[in-house]
Amino acid sequence: DTEVTQTPKHLVMGMTNKKSLKCEQHMGHRAMYWYKQKAKKPPELMFVYSYEKLSINESVPSRFSPECPNSSLLNLHLHALQPEDSALYLCASSQERYGQPQHFGDGTRLSIL
Amino acid sequence: GENVEQHPSTLSVQEGDSAVIKCTYSDSASNYFPWYKQELGKRPQLIIDIRSNVGEKKDQRIAVTLNKTAKHFSLHITETQPEDSAVYFCAASMGTGRRALTFGSGTRLQVQP
């Protein structure tokens, strides 16, 4: 059983659409992450939230907008995406201290038409 | 920033043989090294991790070794089974400040029955 829940599992959207990806964890973790994974590649870090505050933005285009409404939830708002943004979007969480493992959700497979 | 190199990119072994995957990292400040297994279409799953104050860690058929001086760490799987077939990613992170993971490029392990 995954302890990090992501919805939806699959999303197909047009380039003009607005949609959101959601991530939820109830492990009391105070660090949450968004990663993007293309086929046959490792996950690439997009954003890190620490205690509900954005601590790292890896120069991600503004068409991706993260939000952390509370310590259990993480959203990724999508607008005006490009076909090259099609990928698996993974959420992860961890305890906010040294050397703690990150637990990944099953991801949202996003396709941009 | 941190750079993690992983070798080999593909590895094919016979069932029952051992498999070894090697990674090197560039930033001497990195002090946490997890290994993830990702089956096709599934999330990365943590299989073992090691911190920089330890040289070796073992969990049943899986072991990880760390050489801080050479900035190398390796995953060892003994008595491989077909269900070990997957993509394996090494990763590195710094304990303070930037806790995000930098992943290696991945190794596709195929265990032939």
Structure tokens at A23: 């991530």
Do the Cβ atoms of A102 and B46 come within 8 Å? yes
Alpha-carbon span A41 to A49, nearest angstrom: 23
**Quick one: pLDDT at residue A47?**
94
pLDDT in tens, chain A (113 residues): 559 999 999 999 998 899 999 999 999 999 999 999 999 999 999 999 999 999 988 889 999 999 999 999 999 999 999 999 999 999 999 988 777 889 999 999 999 99
pLDDT band per the 50, 70, 90 thresholds, residue B100: confident
Mutate to test the interface with A, among B87, B101, B102 (most CBs of A within 10 A): B101
Of B31, B46, B100, the CB nearest to A56: B100
Alpha-carbon span A101 to B107, nearest angstrom: 20
Of B44, B51, B104, the CB nearest to A99: B51
The answer, yes or no, to whether residue B98 has pLDDT greater than 60, is no
Kindly list the residues from chain B whose CB atom is less than 8 angstroms away from the CB atom of residue A57.
Answer: none
Instruction: Determine the distance from the C-alpha atom of residue A8 to the mean position of all C-alpha atoms in its chain, rounded to a whole number.
Output: 12
